[in-house]
Structure formats: structure tokens, C-alpha cells
Amino acid sequence: MSVEELEARIDKLSNEIKELQQQKFATQRQLNALRDPVARLPFEISSEIFLQCRLDYSGYGYDRVQMARTKPQMAPLLVMHVCGAWANIALSTPALWSRVHLEQPRQNILQLWLRRACNYALAVSLDRSLSPGVGLVLQGYSKQLTHLYLGLREEECDLTPLISGDALISGDASWPSLRTLTVGLRSKDEYDPYEWRGDRGRLRFARLQALLLLAPNLTELNLEDLSTWKDSDIPETLVLPNLRCLRLGTDVPRGCTNIIRRVTLPRLHTLSITFEHTSLDVFLLFLQRSSPPLRNLFLRREGKYLPALQSKFLELFEQLSSLTHLNLRHWHFSIEWTVALVDSPYLLPNLQSLDIYDPPYGHAAVQTPAHHLLLHGLTARVTHS
């Protein structure tokens, strides 16, 4: 055979091979459809199955460590790499992209992810970076963003990317749909990246205030292990009429004081706060100023125990008649305080649960007269209620 004939023969065989490969792929898809139960389901059911695999964003206290460990196996990333059919289902299900957790997020990746969510409400969790570019992307979806979690590095505790930009400055954009805002401090330790610290990270209250003013419908604010700088140029208190839940860290009582002295929260029903002896007066003024219908109160004490606080705590609880759940950490109570609590039916009259944790005394605290009296008095309250 001549060279031309051999080349023609090769071209013919190549075309036959391509045709056979196409037939093989088509047959394989038919086989996959018979073997894959998801492929036989209606689109709506397949989408709902994928939705059950999304990141569970519950605002405060969701399991960040577990979330990070399962991220590669989390929808929609997992289903995108199974097969073309699953990828098409994922790309055709905007709700699947409405929740996102990214570490050191890149602007283009965040933009692509949020674009796929179309018009769905968004829950966004970002770790270790809040660059101006990322801030601009979030501003573009400000009307859809309902939950925002920020894990900031201690050298970058700055909310400026969320409060600056031409759209925000001109008043054309804000955060009208934001319901939950959580800001925490992320460790720089690459070997323990989910260790949280509260010793150095600080936010300027002026920038926090600017962000809160842009989010008039915020109902929950959590500041995890962050304190705030004092801004002497902010004389007026900030009124947040819709905020119902406020949680202020675990290890930064001074930051709690700086915030409490500057806000008025008339609809607050859940409060978690850590403070030193010097901040109790500030807390009392906050309650008088806000008159909130507080139902859940978590108090954690830092610093040395001062007996003088007992009388102030009686004054505090007299202002909390609506309280139903009280949780106290690192507190040691005197007989006088306990007698007042158990003898007065007007002190915390609606209280349903009381949780006291006093680690310096441990189980020995249960043997003190104050605790025996407290248990007896609470039992009597339950019996006569």
C-alpha cells in the first residue's frame, strides 16, 4: 500500500475509534443511570438531598472545628466532583450555594460562589481575611446577606472593608437583611488554627458602630474574645431597637464594659457578658437605660471576689423581674445574698432555671451553708409555685 493509502486507512480507523468511544460513553451513562438511584430521582428530590448536606450555619456557636474538617466532603463541593449529572443538579440548585465558609477567601472565588446562589438569602463565614476586595464582593450582595461570621487575625481586627466604599458612602447600599453578625479572633498558630484568643484583638468601637448603623434589622450580635478600643469622640449611646441577643466574649471583660456603656437595647431578651468588679455599675446603668425584657442572662465574673458586690447584685436582680433563665460562672455567694434570693418572692419571680458554676470551690461548694440554704429555698419556691 502506498503512503497515501496508509494515511487514509489511519484516518478511517481514528474516526471509527472516536465513534466507538462516543458509543461507549453513551452506554456507560445508561449503565450509570441504572446503577445510580439519584439519577433516577426527579430533579426536585435530588436537589433536596443535596441541600441536606450543606454547611449548618446556626449563627453563634456552630462547630467550627468540625466544619473545617468536613469541608472537602461538604456540599456543594463534593457533589460537583462525582459526575456530570450531579454537577448539573448542583449548578441548577441556587439554594445549595447560599451558605459558604472560606478560609483566606479570594475575591474571585467568593464572587463566583455567591453568584451561583442567585437571589437566595446568604450565610457567609470567612476566616483570616477581610480584604477591601472581599468587602466589595459582600457589599454587592448586601441585600441578600442575612448571617455573617468573620474570624479575624489579631493584626487585622478591622471592619473598614464593610463600612467603606462608594456605594456605602453615597448611601446607596447598607446591610438591610443582616440578622446575625459574629466577629471572632482567629489564632495565627498554623498548628492549631482553631484556637481562639482574646488577649490582643481589638476593634474600634467607632467602626463597629458604623457597621451596626448600616444594619438596622440586626437581631443577634456576637463578639467572641474581642475587646473594643475606647473612642472618646463618640459621646452618645447607640440605640439598637431590634437587637434581641447580645453575646460578649469569654475572656475580655474590659471590652464588654466599653460596649455596654455605649448601647441602648430596649428589646434585648438574651445577654451573655463577662465583667470585672469595676463594670457592674456600668451594667446597672445599661439596664436602667434600656429597660429590656431580658429573659436569658449569662454572667461570667473575672477578677477577685469582692463581698461588696453582693448588695449590688441584689439591686441588679431587682431590675430583672422578667428573667426566666440565669447562668452564673465563677461566682461565690454569701449567706446574705442567698437569704435574699430564697426569702423574697419578688426577687426574680419568673425564674425557671438557675445554673451556678463555681470552679475554685468545686464540689466542696455544695457543702457550704449558702448552697444548702439556696437548694432548700429553691425547692420551696418550686413546691409553692
CB 226 within 8 A of CB 198: yes
Identify whether 359 is part of a domain.
yes
> Using 50, 70 and 90 to split pLDDT, how confident is the model at 62?
very low
- Supply the CATH number for residue 328's domain: 3.80.10
What are the pLDDT digits (tens) for 173-229?
A: 589 999 999 887 765 554 444 444 444 456 777 788 888 888 999 999 988 766 665
Q: State the pLDDT at residue 192.
A: 44
CB 259 within 8 A of CB 279: no
Domain count, the chain: 1
pLDDT, average across residues 249-270? 78
Identify whether 37 is part of a domain.
no
pLDDT, average across residues 38-54? 81
Packing angle, helices 132-140 and 107-116, rounded to 10:
10
> Using 50, 70 and 90 to split pLDDT, how confident is the model at 1?
confident
pLDDT score of 138 more than 80: yes
Instruction: Give ∠ CA 141-146-147 in degrees, rounded to 5.
Output: 110
Classify each residue of 6-23 as buried b or exposed e, where b means 16 or more C-beta atoms within 10 Å of its C-beta: eeeeeeeeeeeeeeeeee
**Domain assignment of residue 357, given as a range:** 107-384
Compute the radius of gyration of the chain from its Cα atoms: 29
pTM score, whole prediction: 0.77
CB 346 within 8 A of CB 368: no
What are the pLDDT digits (tens) for 93-136?
A: 999 899 888 887 788 889 999 999 999 999 988 887 778 888 88
- Segment (H or E) for 264: strand 263-264
Tell the burial category of 369 from Cβ atoms under 10 Å away from its Cβ (0-12, 13-18, 19+).
Answer: exposed
Q: Residue 55 and residue 40: Cα distance in Å, rounded?
A: 26
> Using 50, 70 and 90 to split pLDDT, how confident is the model at 323?
very high
Identify whether 85 is part of a domain.
no
Query: Which range is least confidently modeled, 16-20, 246-250, 275-279?
Result: 275-279
2-11, 34-43, 198-207, range with greatest mean pLDDT: 2-11
